[in-house]
Amino acid sequence: MSEENRTPALDPAAARDLLDRARAARRNAYAPYSNFPVGAALLARDGRVFTGVNVENASYGLCNCAERVAVGKAVSEGVRDFAAIAVIGPEDDVECSPCGACRQVLFEFGPDMVLVMPNGGGVRQYLVRELLPGAFDAARLPPVQGTPV
């Protein structure tokens, strides 16, 4: 979805609803060190929505991002097929792009997953693959006998 030929991959009303769910989840973020609360809402293809928030720790390397928390919740419930994820930071009208680690995790579960973020008074949509060119994927791994790739 280039800037010149931007075709929303998610219905605008559905994108706004998903962003609203991320905004509501953000209230539960645990961000005492950065004061940068983030909320995420992950839409499974079956229609279920899994939310996540960032969970910080005094040992910064142990922090969990909202996007990965949402993915973990979904996977723990047996869901692995996703249509979209909305992410919102502390400001309601400013894009909050996923970090590199989250981009890689999202790519694992759906390179064509739609990423929804606020943009001014509107909503902006990307495909995960647009944010992680040259992503590392299972095709780069040698096959392991008896394990599907």
- The domain limits of the chain are 12-140
pLDDT at 52 over 50: yes
Residues 3, 4, 56, 67: which is the catalytic one?
67
Exposure string over 90-115, b if 16+ CB within 10 A, otherwise e: eeeeeebebeeebbbbbbebbeebbb
DSSP 78-99: T---EEEEEEE-SSTTS--PPP
**Across 130-147, average pLDDT:** 84
How high does pLDDT run on average in the chain? 92
Structurally, at CATH architecture level, domain 12-140 sits in 3-Layer(aba) Sandwich (3.40)
The per-residue pLDDT for 70 is 98
Q: How confident is the model at residue 5 (pLDDT cuts 50, 70, 90)?
A: very low
Do residues 104 and 111 touch, judged by C-beta distance below 8 A? no
Q: pLDDT tens, 16-31?
A: 999 999 999 999 999 9
Q: Is 67 tagged catalytic?
A: yes
Predicted TM-score (pTM) of this structure: 0.89
